[in-house]
Chain A
Amino acid sequence: MATQRTEGSSSRVVAALRELAIPVVSVAIAMGIGSVIMMIAGFDPIAAYLAMLKGGFGGGRQIGETMLRATPLIFTGLAVAYGFRAGLFNIGAEGQLFMGGLSAAYLGIVLAGMPRPLNIVLMVVAGAAVGAAWAFIPALLKAKVGAHEVITTMMFSYIARYLVSWLVTGPLKAEGQIPQTNQLPVESTLQKLHELFPFLTPSRAHLGFLIAVGLALLMWALLKYTTLGYEARAVGFNPWASETAGISVPATTIKALCISGALAGLAGVTEVMGVHFRLFDQFSAGFGFTGIAVALLAKNNPIGVIAAAILFGALSAGGGTMQLEAEVPQKVILIIQALIIFLVAAEQISRWILGRTVRKEVENAG
């Protein structure tokens, strides 16, 4: 962390580029393997990727759509990344997201008629708290009896989904046939970005994106400048040394998983407040799981999470266009996502390829 102060700016750039190289190469290889799969299945990968690119970045509206889809992924990516930093794998971000969404869908109706800024603040804070609360029991079990959070948070995510499923078909169901909650009044929703900044092309992108980016910066600062982040990292790296140094490992574990849950909860809040304006069974497209890929690709760096989420957001936004124009099933994106996780996690593959190209450059230069 002090590298920046002691080393020159040029070496800092080189180091940053080197950090970037592996994720970039991983994405490239994953897309390459993805095209092979598409070719085997009889599709044209070039047409598919072009359609995807068009759908993701083809214009202001498309970029807006990418931002829209990146928004929940920034939250879940940050959630998973913060957990990883503390040595915890929050595989159940999906469940915390559902609970965050539930809280927003409920509170948004209760707060009808109140001023919009107040509603936004209250709903965001409450959603984060509910997400944290949903992570609390797995956190407590991890801290007290060592129950593995991978299984417990996963189970809690199934429980959350059935809970939401019950509420939207029963107690919170709106009038009509469809199992969903009532639509939120406008004062309980997030503004579209083009409403806030009139010079932007109209799109579905909403204020949640800015909140997400703001939180990413906040988390970066938290990890670097605060004792809270320091203790989380210490426990993540070496719980025994942390314990010896007087850091409470159980307390740090609980705090970290709850912060992670709060971040994941916000993904649900902004989806409800900014996209659907209500809650229903299928309101999340597996954002909790994609968050894992986002965090890994970003190497748990909060700023990297923004970039990785935008990439996955674009894949998702472009996926529709791809299915429409190149007729490739959108599911191929999941395959590419899985491959990216593999390649980023198994750094050697990318390093090996990078090593070869570097060596070639050296040979060519010499």
Chain B
Amino acid sequence: MLADIITPDLFASAVRIATPIALAAIGGTISERSGVVNIALEGMMLFGGFMGVIGTSFTGSPWFGLAVAVLSGMALALVHAFASITLRTDQVVSGTAINILALGLTGFLMEVIFGHPGTTDPIARLTPLFRFSGPTEGVVGTVWMWINGVVFSHTPIVYMAIIIAVVGQWALFNTRWGLRLRALGEHPRAADTVGINVTRGRYSAVIMSGALGGLAGANLTLEQVGSFTENMTNGRGFIALAANIFGHWTPVGSYLAALLFGFADALQIKLQLFRDIVKVPSQFFLMLPYVLTVIVLAGVVGRAVSPAAVGKPYEKG
């Protein structure tokens, strides 16, 4: 049975499942590094995923849908930025409002556009980027099956997420953008006194996180599922925030933490196939990521230090 569970597909599916969480978690990293809590990632993901489906179904091009998804995430992020930076609304409250707004907007538009609640019509999906053929026989065949399955079987956004994590990590610690971003979340006033525009820096960070949230949604709808279902993000935005904390507010850390969640989830899906042998109700498997999130938070938060000014609106003078 173990050989049936530990397959290339298990790891490939871990990477797939980790992708939306990782993208949203990196979005959370960028936003929180600038000093703005973004619990609206859930809503941005949802809205982005939905708008991606709309964009795809109107043009037939999932790539166009992807662009729409990213822009939609950014649009919601702009609302969050305006509320929490310009109006200095409580950031968690603003995020909650956006999550409810995304739920309402997607549900409402679904009924207006598709004429029914629930799930949208299926749309054209983004397909795996590579299609290699290789040896199938012997040890070489097995090795190739693993490499091909785990590394080369994925859709574009999965690779984008890895690139974003690595480039983001490098940029955070080596570029002007990264240094200033870190300064904003630690001590915005100090940044202000050396001529860094706090408002602009925070706006761009929040909008960037919205773009990543939208991309995460696009991964769900345009790559993983091929349609949109109401509230399909199912708490992934919140899990992403936990992943960000677990990853100590770094892009690669966020990605790896998301991978942990992805692996747990992939494992539970796999185990469900063996329901006859492992006699555990499916609901317990479905609970796993949420339980894991709580365990992660219980274990690490005491040691992880968040950016000092996170959650606090900045007032000049």
Contacts and interface: CB of A to CB of B under 8 A. Distances in A.
B104 A158 contact: no
Interface stretch (B147-155, B213-221, B289-297): B289-297
Contacts of A169: 281, 283
Contacts of B39: 150
Given A159-B287, A349-B87, A341 B96 contact: yes
A134 to B, nearest CB: 12
A293 interface: yes
Contacts of A151: 238, 241-242, 293, 297
B90 A345 contact: yes
B123 to A, nearest CB: 21
A276 interface: no
Interface in B220-266: 234-235, 238-239, 241-242
B235 A154 contact: yes
Contacts of A329: 107-108, 111-112, 117
B83 interface: yes
A155 B238 contact: yes
Interface stretch (A141-149, A220-228, A259-267, A354-362): A141-149
A155 B93 contact: no
B298 A41 contact: no
Given A155-B290, A158-B290, A159-B290, A341 B100 contact: yes
A155 B294 contact: yes
Interface string B67-106: 0000000000001000100010110111011101101110
Contacts of A163: 283, 287
A331 interface: yes
Nearest to A145: B302
B199 to A, nearest CB: 15
Chain A contact patch, size range:
35 or more
B64 to A, nearest CB: 22
A141 B79 CA distance: 32
B5 interface: no
Interface string B47-81: 00000000000000000000000000000000100
A91 interface: yes
Interface in A1-57: 37, 41-42
Interface residues of B, number: 43
B294 A156 contact: yes
DSSP majority for the B interface?
A: helix
Interface in B268-294: 281, 283-284, 286-287, 290-291, 293-294
B297 A152 contact: yes
Most chain A CB inside 10 Å of its own CB: which residue of B97, B105, B109, B287: B97
Given A166-B283, A341-B96, A335 B297 contact: no
Interface string A264-297: 0000000000000000000000000100110010
A307 interface: no
Interface string A73-103: 0000000000000000101000000000000
A230 interface: no
A64 B84 CA distance: 39
Interface string A337-366: 111011001101100000000000000000
A172 interface: no
A155 B235 contact: yes
B301 interface: yes
A293 B97 CA distance: 8
Contacts of B299: 145
A41 B110 CA distance: 11
Contacts of A237: none
Nearest to B285: A162
Contacts of B293: 151, 155
Contacts of B290: 155-156, 158-159, 162
Given A146-B301, A159-B291, A333-B104, A41 B112 contact: yes
A338 B97 contact: yes
Given A335-B101, A337-B104, A152 B96 contact: no
A165 B281 CA distance: 10
B111 A166 contact: no
A156 B238 CA distance: 12
A155 B83 CA distance: 26
B29 to A, nearest CB: 15
Nearest to B102: A338
A317 B72 CA distance: 32
A338 B105 CA distance: 10
Q: Which 10 pairs, one residue from A and one from B, show the smallest C-beta to C-beta distance? A: A334-B104, A338-B101, A331-B107, A341-B97, A166-B283, A335-B104, A329-B111, A331-B108, A147-B297, A338-B100
Given A148-B297, A152-B297, A337-B104, 6 more contacts: A146-B302, A147-B297, A155-B238, A162-B286, A163-B283, A338-B101
13 contacts: A147-B301, A159-B287, A170-B281, A296-B93, A331-B103, A334-B103, A337-B104, A338-B97, A339-B97, A341-B96, A341-B100, A345-B94, A346-B83
Interface of B: 39, 79, 83, 87, 89-90, 92-94, 96-98, 100-101, 103-105, 107-109, 111-112, 117, 234-235, 238-239, 241-242, 281, 283-284, 286-287, 290-291, 293-294, 297-299, 301-302
